[in-house]
Structure 1
Amino acid sequence: MWGESEGTKGDATIEEIGRRRTFTNTLSLAIVLFVVQLPMVDAVRDNAGSAFDCAIPGRLSLLVDVLFIGTYVYAAYRAYKYVRFLQQPLWQAIARIGALLIFLAAVLDVVEDIKLWSDFGRQTGGCADLSTGWLTWLMRVLWVAGSLVLAVCLFATSRFGRRKLFGIEPGPRATFEREPDPGPDAGRLVICCSGGGIRSASFCLGALQLLRERGYYDKASTVIGVSGGGYMAAAFHVLRRTCADPFSPGSAELARLRRQTRYLLQGGRAMFRAALSVLFGVIVNLLLIGIMLRAIAWVLGWFLSDQKVVVATGQEIRVDWRPGGSWWFVGLSLFLIAVSAAMFVLEKVWDRWARMPDPVRKVLTTVGGVTLRYGTPVAVLLLGVPGGLYLLGKLPGGNADQPSLPSALLALVDPTKQGVASFGALVVVLIGLGRTVWNGLAVESKDPSEAGLRGRLLAFARNKLAPWVGSAIIVGAAVIALLRWTGGYATDRSYQMDWSVALVLASIAIAIKLLTDANRTSLHSFYRERLSRAFLVTRKPNGAAVSLDYSIRLRYSEWAKPTDGGPQLVIAGVANVADADFVPTQRDCVPFIFDAEQIGIVGDRSLPTGGRRRTEDYEREADVLKREVTVPAAMAISGAALSPLTGRVNSRTRPVRLLLAVLNARLGVWLPNPYWNNRDEDTFPEVTGFAARVRRYVGSVIDKPGPYRLLREAIGSPSMYDRRIYVTDGGHYDNLGLVEALRREPAQVIVIDASNDPEDRFNALGEAIATARMDHGIRIDMDPAPMIRGQKTRADRSWAYGIATHPLKEGRRQPYKTEIFFLKAVLAGHLGWDVEQYATTHDDFPRRSTGDQFYDEWDFEAYRDLGYVLAESLTDHHRVKARLEDLPD
């Protein structure tokens, strides 16, 4: 199934297709940069008699050539890595030679550019040629030789080449996923703690306290935490390593936890760091956007000016789409789109008169898709930008060196006090819209049918209108900046000749690459630290409870294991992917599980093998300092509900994706794709020796996710084939953790559910039941009717019993069954008077929105005690008690 869209008929692995895609995408970018230089080269040739007139296109060509050099070197490196991956020693050695030739050509290319740059600075005599004689020819020979060597290697190692050249019929390199038999928790008890922010953490704490007192917690083999439930599952597990009675009533750590219920913004220092974290990410994001827009405007403005499409005449800008009366500019702008349309028409005509072979159809659709992908932005830039300048030129005001724009909009790109104020106002407006949108998304406890007219209008404004307004403001500001800069470069030679701008842009880009990355600019680091300091504590010999030192690397492979009995810790997240080869329509994610032994992607049996890695190996690959795959990191990733990509709930967050990305409202993390570099041998062993450690350290820093990953978040196109995957909240797949628990084939599962379902709906349970059946063929028989309040003042009970029947496996005479004890945060039975009183004064109890993460001691205690009392009612039932007592220790 996988890879079918690539024409591999399901025989290629994810990594093979992914490496090929990475190479082809980089090669495509190199081709684009090469094509961009062509009109500049023609301009230098046309103005050979004037050093002044050819200096601008000549030096601009050299700036683009620097980008071209870096891109084709990276493409050569990716080609070599692809051949190396295919494990053909001979061709690997030849490909190494080809990559080396390309690298040598790049060195000569840089030397050539440096020399030509100084040559174009001379203002006397004729124009310098874009050539340095023998140096240029040597560079070209090396470049062509290296390209040919790599092309031969790529062809020879391809399936087509191996078949045609050597008569080798390559076999399939991919196999389907097969679950272990029996499951890793067969015959044992698994406890699941659901998502739900601080609400779920409080409720799960009470339930876990009761289960520990009754001995069921220590009997369990695994505790699975999702999002907010993962906070407490991890806190309980970490403290259990050094303390037999974690968070017992009256304990110092329980008292400390009550003081941390505003864990995200606990105190002025945390608020200050939160504000700086947001501001830091916003500034970096805007700088990256500005660099990209300025570079595009520079090249585009020069081209429109050189071709006489945009010309300054007196006090206005004149736009002529037919310079010299010719239609060639319009034809150039629409050429790629026309090719795409021609491929489509050719396919239809061919189909009308004959049967088209699949390889031909694939070529036509590929060419049509590629030309449409590149043709659309080309048409928008070459036709849309002049059109925008024409329309803006009709506004009152303006002069020859800038398009006429309203002063408030012009200020956005002016480095003046007014510009700073306007820019600041824009940021404030966006943040306000982002806050409004998030409040709307977080209000999940209200049933739309129960809301009045005012509530429905407010929900419409928050969920439908505000997201598009925020995105429109961002796009509008970007368009204004692009038009302003393009107009300046098209009409003012001083713009075109200000080469210091290139130095500033390059310096900013290099500084961003060296000083930060897409994970560091997000809020993940702040979120991870706050969770660690609030929930991960240790009890000192004198009885005091203190947070674990944040500098301690709580490596998941070590700290998630049980010590001295007790369960292991499993944290559930999701990897956001949008491939039709792997996920159903609009699911947009696959489960990503943090386990002490193996970490990575799990799911239905149609997924290919290789999605999980040894946790120790994965820790080293993710970060040489082993900071990215820790218990606090897993907690933060599993609770990363606020992200541009949100798995199954993308339909709600899609309109606001761009706004969240730009405002740095990003809690997700880019991690290495476990399908890549997954070998039987230890791919990332511990290194010894100073030189080896330095090499590994530098490589790890350079390999961190960059601006391209941020772009993937903003436009929402993650793929299982990518080298990195975006991991977020486990609730974006299954908020209960029940599907992962059943995949492990335990004898019994206790589900502690504090999801914020509309009352009497049990949406999270219904989705988990359907997902277990769809992905694993597991049928769940459960009736939650006793938990339905309906017209009664209170539900009869807070729990339900169910049976999960697993599909019959080879070697088994009858299907394996798992008992499910489902505990739900509802008002049922007789509660303590304090909880009853709290419920009368809080209409939303126990379904408080996750948008409110700031609890006081009364809120925390009410939810904690509710979890304790309801778990007690479950385990006191004689049948439940009898079933749980049968479990082995």
Structure 2
Amino acid sequence: MSLIIYFFTYIHIISSRTSDAGEKMSDKTASLLDELTKERDAVNTRRAQLPEEYQAQSATIGLALSGGGIRSATFCLGVVRALAKNKLLIHFDYLSTVSGGGYLGGMLGRLYQKNKDPVAVQDALARDDTILLAWLRNNGRYLIPAGMRDTSLGIAQILRSFVAALFLVTLLCIAIAGIAISVNLALQGPLDLRLALLPAAKQQWLMTLAVPLAFSAWMAITYWLTLSKWPFLLDLTVGFILTVAAAAGIYFMMCQYAEQTDFNDSLFVTGALGLINIIAIALAIGCPGKNVAQFRQRLTLALTRSLTLALAVLLLWLIYCGGWALYLRFHSSLLIVPPTVVAGVKIIWELRPLKLLATSLANKSPVVSVSLLQLADILGFVIMIFSLLTVCAAEIDFLLCKAHTLNISQTMLAWLPAMLTLGIAGIFALFCYGKILIPFLNLSSLHNLYRSRLERAWLSVANYGGGKNKRFADNPLDSKPSGKLNDIHRVTDHLPGDDIHFNKYAPHRQGGPIHLITCCINQTVDDRTGNYNADRKGIALTLSALGVETGTRLPGPVVNMKDATLSHWIAISGAAAATGMGSRTAPGLAFLLFVIGGRLGYWSKNLCPVKETATTKKPPPFAVPALFAEMFARFPGRNSKYWFLSDGGHFENTGVYPLLKRNLKTIVVADCGADPKRQFDDLENLVRKARIDYGIDIVFHAAHSPHFTSLAQLQKGGELPPLLRAKIIYPHCNGQPVLPGTLIIVKPHSLKGMGLDTLSYAGRHSDFPQQTTGDQFFDEAQWEAYHQLGFQAGSAINREMLL
């Protein structure tokens, strides 16, 4: 029976068509010029809100705040306050943020939009006595601001996500184990159930495996027969001889490696293979000459699929044999093993001391630092295999030892695994192709927990004034006389005015900068060709009031963003722990993160779908169902109906990337990504992507100023000047040279003249100021050390450097 199923499956495979790999450029020259004009108009709108002495500024400059969690946000706060104190913050036309830099960027944008006076915002940020500064200092532990009570609330949400993920994984394991058991029962034939559940003889599995392998051979032979000049009968004769030879080889293999053989089965296999061969040759001979190249490509695709099917048969065999072996050893105790083991992994994962220890080891040992992600990837595969085998053993245990108590007939029991598989397949089909799965995955992740914490601690600073739902009674930019801090709602309270709809968020209209928020569209599979994307595994997604831009494209109109808020996009931009992590995405790691519920990523509808024309091919509704995409890291990418979004640092962490396409004169970047070994990974990634994507060269200068150091000096360590400088060499535009730009880097490191408290903190913590990003719970001393270091470093920037 299985041979007949394979036969008709292959008939379908050989007629399959390859996907269209071509992609037409959607960005025409005229539209590019229009978008540039819109950007210039937005910059002019911003400057029109400023005093006259600032409106004449000719240079366009940008500020980039990098990823790095609370460490980055706190250091960047110091840098921004230093720029404000030097009367320079108001000069920045663009603000580009990634991950932790977005905490501060969103807060800054809300202050500009609410106060409507950019000079007043700048002056207030320069002061040391504001309510705002006290509020941020008190909320360094923004993830668990209420201590144990907030921790218990977070644990409840984490456990809810964990149970949902474990339920889905268990269903999938039951379905796969059911297939393995059903195939084994079919190969055994009509026997007593206890005998039929014994692993089928080797030759029966080998015979089943022989069909897809033989079909693969026919596909390879047919590839060469497209050049054949032989008569049709001669082709059939050669094919028949090869078929007989293959069947004889299979029969000989069965005699050598199996205890017994069935000659009738061998004849049946021979007949099936012969028919497949005749069809393959007929298709090859009947193929019109002008379609030969396309047909060869289809043959290669069919060969790939048949080999994949052969591998699937082999894996089902191994799963069943492994499940049977575990059943014989452990029996019914297996029913509780998979959830117990996975729960144990979850508990270990959530222990903060172990997280910090692992990160510390990674920072100190180059061997460990390279392999930690690989070990997590391997652990994910181990849990995946272990879950499959134990669930398979549990199903066998149920069929043999438990079902008789339910008075179920043997015939019904024999069909039970197949019916379970079909039922679960129906559930998954309902989930995957209805409007259920995407909201379910988003709600079962930790996105909303993370988003709410950022909203209350950072973005709520514009929610002030009279009224019940106002967090602050007074403007947070005011000074903090005694008693004013008592009028603030607790950070644990949810208030409607803390957030703002993203379509209404436009700080540049009130004199603030144009805020660019960068996320990462995960893409492990090229949705044009179906090929595996082995390098970047992601594309930049940048959002602003000007629209949405992907990769090197300029902003375009936004769709599918009806209910999105600012906190929603700030949280996605900082979704560091996700099943998709750009170039670090791995299937085992994705499965591990999925099963323990440690997911911050978010599924979003395509924000800029390609418009259909008469010549464009409509993409499938969703090529890879989202559930399996997350479990096994198979993300389709930019042209898919849905995007899986994660931390912008998974593509480019400094935030400079979207500013480069705008040819700015000066870019200041706070490079706060974890770099304990001073390897400059984020700067290296920026330089490489700038050259590949934009044709822009970034060349670092030697230090020739008391304010600047060099990469070589930073690698040696010690107390050094606060800044780095590089030259941005833009490519020619319309054959004309473009004036070079300047990149000023503020990177956390020890400085001369640090305050006593900062110096003392650094003395007690040798990894300061490059402590692990995994530590998102800053106490007062830690918060103040990073804030003051950023303030001291940013104070070195002056007007001559920018303008």
Indicate the residue corresponding to 1:453 in structure 2.
Answer: none
**What are the ranges of 5 or more consecutive residues in structure 2 without an aligned counterpart?**
10-14, 44-58, 231-288, 404-409, 466-472, 477-487, 614-620, 704-708
CA distance in 2, matches of 1:678, 1:630: 26
Alignment of 1:188-587 (within 5 A): 188-243=60-115, 244-245=120-121, 247=125, 248-267=127-146, 268-298=148-178, 300-308=180-188, 317-321=197-201, 330-347=206-223, 357-381=292-316, 383-388=317-322, 391-392=325-326, 403-407=327-331, 410-413=332-335, 419=336, 423-432=339-348, 439=356, 442-443=359-360, 446=363, 448=365, 462-465=372-375, 467-486=377-396, 488-489=398-399, 493=410, 495-496=413-414, 516-536=439-459, 537-538=461-462, 540-541=464-465, 542-543=473-474, 545=476, 549-550=495-496, 554-579=500-525, 585-587=534-536
Which letter does structure 1 place at the counterpart of 2:628? L
How far residue 587 of structure 1 moved from its aligned partner, in angstroms, is: 1.4
CA distance in 2, matches of 1:472, 1:193: 39
- Is the Cα–Cα contact under 8 Å of residues 342 and 595 in structure 2 kept in the other structure? no
Q: TM-score, normalised by structure 1?
A: 0.65
- Correspondent of 2:589 among 652, 656, 660: 656
Taking CA–CA contacts closer than 8 Å with sequence separation of 6 or more, which of the two structures ends up with the larger relative contact order? 2
How far residue 207 of structure 1 moved from its aligned partner, in angstroms, is: 0.6
How far residue 575 of structure 1 moved from its aligned partner, in angstroms, is: 0.9
Call closer, same or farther: CA 1:715–1:206 in 2, change over 3 Å: same
Alignment of 1:687-766 (within 5 A): 708-720=625-637, 721-766=639-684
Alignment of 1:117-128 (within 5 A): none
How far residue 815 of structure 1 moved from its aligned partner, in angstroms, is: 1.9
- Correspondent of 2:605 among 663, 672, 689: 672
CA distance in 2, matches of 1:643, 1:863: 27
Indicate the residue corresponding to 1:776 in structure 2.
Answer: 694
Which letter does structure 1 place at the counterpart of 2:693? D
- The C-alpha deviation readout for 1:506-561, integer Å capped at 9, x for no partner, is 99877997595111111111111111111112263442655783576622222144
- Is the Cα–Cα contact under 8 Å of residues 624 and 634 in structure 2 kept in the other structure? no
* Secondary structure of 1:757's aligned partner: coil
How far residue 303 of structure 1 moved from its aligned partner, in angstroms, is: 4.9
Call closer, same or farther: CA 1:495–1:844 in 2, change over 3 Å: same
How far residue 865 of structure 1 moved from its aligned partner, in angstroms, is: 0.9
How far residue 237 of structure 1 moved from its aligned partner, in angstroms, is: 1.3
Call closer, same or farther: CA 1:225–1:540 in 2, change over 3 Å: same
- Is the Cα–Cα contact under 8 Å of residues 612 and 675 in structure 1 kept in the other structure? no
Call closer, same or farther: CA 1:303–1:672 in 2, change over 3 Å: same
- Is the Cα–Cα contact under 8 Å of residues 309 and 319 in structure 1 kept in the other structure? no
* Secondary structure of 2:768's aligned partner: coil
CA distance in 2, matches of 1:844, 1:735: 21
How far residue 636 of structure 1 moved from its aligned partner, in angstroms, is: 1.0
Call closer, same or farther: CA 1:461–1:770 in 2, change over 3 Å: closer
- Is the Cα–Cα contact under 8 Å of residues 575 and 727 in structure 1 kept in the other structure? yes
- The C-alpha deviation readout for 1:560-604, integer Å capped at 9, x for no partner, is 44242111211111111134679974211111111112114123x
Which letter does structure 2 place at the counterpart of 1:807? P
- The C-alpha deviation readout for 1:807-827, integer Å capped at 9, x for no partner, is 1111x6322322222211111
Indicate the residue corresponding to 1:10 in structure 2.
Answer: none
- The C-alpha deviation readout for 1:765-786, integer Å capped at 9, x for no partner, is 2221221111100112222652
CA distance in 2, matches of 1:563, 1:443: 45
Which letter does structure 1 place at the counterpart of 2:575? A
Call closer, same or farther: CA 1:344–1:265 in 2, change over 3 Å: farther
Indicate the residue corresponding to 2:49 in structure 1.
Answer: none
| 1:819 aligned onto 2:742 | yes
Indicate the residue corresponding to 2:274 in structure 1.
Answer: none
Indicate the residue corresponding to 1:803 in structure 2.
Answer: 727
- The C-alpha deviation readout for 1:777-810, integer Å capped at 9, x for no partner, is 0112222652454697734311122221211111
| 1:618 aligned onto 2:560 | yes
How far residue 467 of structure 1 moved from its aligned partner, in angstroms, is: 4.5
| 1:767 aligned onto 2:639 | no
Which letter does structure 1 place at the counterpart of 2:782? D
- Correspondent of 1:594 among 532, 535, 543: 543
How far residue 228 of structure 1 moved from its aligned partner, in angstroms, is: 0.8
* Secondary structure of 1:648's aligned partner: helix
Indicate the residue corresponding to 1:645 in structure 2.
Answer: 580
CA distance in 2, matches of 1:378, 1:749: 56
Which letter does structure 2 place at the counterpart of 1:873? A
- Is the Cα–Cα contact under 8 Å of residues 760 and 790 in structure 1 kept in the other structure? yes
Call closer, same or farther: CA 1:371–1:486 in 2, change over 3 Å: farther
Alignment of 1:45-56 (within 5 A): none
**What are the ranges of 5 or more consecutive residues in structure 1 without an aligned counterpart?**
1-31, 40-150, 161-170, 393-402, 414-418, 450-455, 604-608, 621-625, 681-702, 876-880
- The C-alpha deviation readout for 1:598-626, integer Å capped at 9, x for no partner, is 114123xxxxx7x96423x2313xxxxx1
How far residue 259 of structure 1 moved from its aligned partner, in angstroms, is: 1.5
* Secondary structure of 1:728's aligned partner: strand
CA distance in 2, matches of 1:654, 1:506: 22
What's the RMSD between the two structures over aligned residues? 4.2
CA distance in 1, matches of 2:464, 2:608: 42
CA distance in 1, matches of 2:143, 2:356: 16
How far residue 301 of structure 1 moved from its aligned partner, in angstroms, is: 3.5
Which letter does structure 2 place at the counterpart of 1:543? D
- Is the Cα–Cα contact under 8 Å of residues 141 and 776 in structure 2 kept in the other structure? yes
Indicate the residue corresponding to 1:138 in structure 2.
Answer: none
CA distance in 1, matches of 2:436, 2:582: 31
CA distance in 1, matches of 2:176, 2:677: 53
* Secondary structure of 1:237's aligned partner: helix
Call closer, same or farther: CA 1:553–1:232 in 2, change over 3 Å: closer
CA distance in 1, matches of 2:351, 2:692: 36
Which letter does structure 1 place at the counterpart of 2:208? L
- Number of residue equivalences: 653
How far residue 317 of structure 1 moved from its aligned partner, in angstroms, is: 4.9
* Aligned sequence identity (%): 22
* Secondary structure of 1:594's aligned partner: strand
* Secondary structure of 2:667's aligned partner: strand
CA distance in 2, matches of 1:438, 1:508: 36
CA distance in 2, matches of 1:485, 1:825: 56
Call closer, same or farther: CA 1:159–1:874 in 2, change over 3 Å: closer
* Secondary structure of 2:391's aligned partner: helix
- Is the Cα–Cα contact under 8 Å of residues 442 and 602 in structure 2 kept in the other structure? yes
- Is the Cα–Cα contact under 8 Å of residues 522 and 537 in structure 2 kept in the other structure? yes
Call closer, same or farther: CA 1:281–1:504 in 2, change over 3 Å: farther
CA distance in 1, matches of 2:631, 2:346: 15
CA distance in 1, matches of 2:20, 2:517: 40
